[in-house]
Structure 1
């Protein structure tokens, strides 16, 4: 009975954390005018989630860690996010253009290749921010290492995609959950499922951020 009570307390604590993180993500995205705030807020969200999931024995000052990460990673977070967004936009434009071209064998081959590239792009996206808050890498290496994990952990990647689909159906059934846990719960599942693929590192972004606090 005591064990069950502890589980309920842990569940309630996690719900509170996710609600607070969801509020912080929306607030700091708006502080940056959304276009300049969304990616640093996402980095800060994953930084806190990493600390909560991978170091549960450590007491986390959520607002402080979120704010210091948001400030310190503002430029780099925007650069990481918008470079990746531009690449994704270019792939989508190519797909739309190919749909308007006369169908030939080469056209069909290019269309299949682009759709496969689009799927790979989505897979890499799920690993990108967890890697960013976990490792100190050169800029392009974040994309490279995300690609390596997609290829090297195919079962984990498939489970991650399945989890995202389940979350999509859950939010479709209960849309009221989106403003309460929407972004933070997605981030939590991504961080939780990728954390086992990320080796403990003594030079992670989070430790660097805390060293300035």
Structure 2
């Protein structure tokens, strides 16, 4: 996923920066053909489809077909509906297609530390900047709620994406499957999250023109 860190986003002098105050006034953000809004329970079928596709694409680098299907099948269980409902997800849409999600919650370990969760992007849209947009949105939400640091657990394959966004790896482990497979896991943190959306219309114009339909 070839994302660029927010620091090197191209900024036009006349570009419109989407601030947290603007996002709060208008909870549905539409920027360069990408719409963000809170996920609803009615979106569960689309959420499952995106999460399953992203899980298969990522796990296939490390696990056999049976283990990949075991991981993906968990997304179709009833328990997953409750997990989604309790994750306060934001969904990204391009046209009428749900293409990604992200959520966050307090860690409970410290009063100002939040944890990113359920960051998934439909593989067809990998590299379009949607993952970075969702992470920036979640960080801004967490900062507005009083959190200053973010933690995330992800696959080792996705660790470089978070590093480019300013995260630092703190530990590694592996998720064991029932048949003995091991999915490498990375733990990362970001101690200074941005209080605002570091996104401009000019920065996302190319992605919007490419995928808007």
TM-score w.r.t. the length of structure 2 is 0.29
Q: Is the radius of gyration larger for structure 1 or structure 2? A: 1
Of Structure 1 and Structure 2, the greater strand share is in: 2
More helix by share: 1
